[in-house]
Amino acid sequence: MTYPTAEPLRSRSNNPVKNQIVITGYNQHGNKDSSMVTTQYKLFQSYKSKIAIIETDPMGEDILYLDPEYYNYSVTTSKYLHKFLLENYIPISTREYTNVKELIKNNIAQFKDLN
């Protein structure tokens, strides 16, 4: 069994940022042929609020979910959410988007209650 790990995001000077955490864990899913598939998730948490999660589905595709209430909670949350996406969300270049709202508008992310 693998337990989730928690790591702080890091500042530009590579110092750990207090209360901005990335939790990495694994889920097991049953397939139609009764075999098990292990998938990864990465959860960004700011203070006690879950902001975003990147889940890998059993087919290997990453799915990005944002909490509709907290994803844009503060300037600090938005700043570190963007950093989390740049470091962890491979299928797209989030540098192309000036803000996270464009990810929703362009169907790259979905809203999901994470709290």
pLDDT digits (tens, 9 = 90+) for 27-86: 877 766 667 778 889 999 999 999 999 998 777 788 899 999 998 888 888 889 988 988
C-alpha distances (whole Å) from 57 to each of 37, 38, 44, 62, 101 are 9, 9, 18, 6, 23
- Summarize pLDDT for 91-100 with one digit per residue, the tens: 555 556 666 7
CA distance 26 to 4: 7
Residue spans of beta strands (DSSP E) within the chain: 5-10, 16-30, 36-46, 49-56, 62-66, 109-111
pTM: 0.82
Is 20 in a helix, a strand, or coil?
Answer: strand
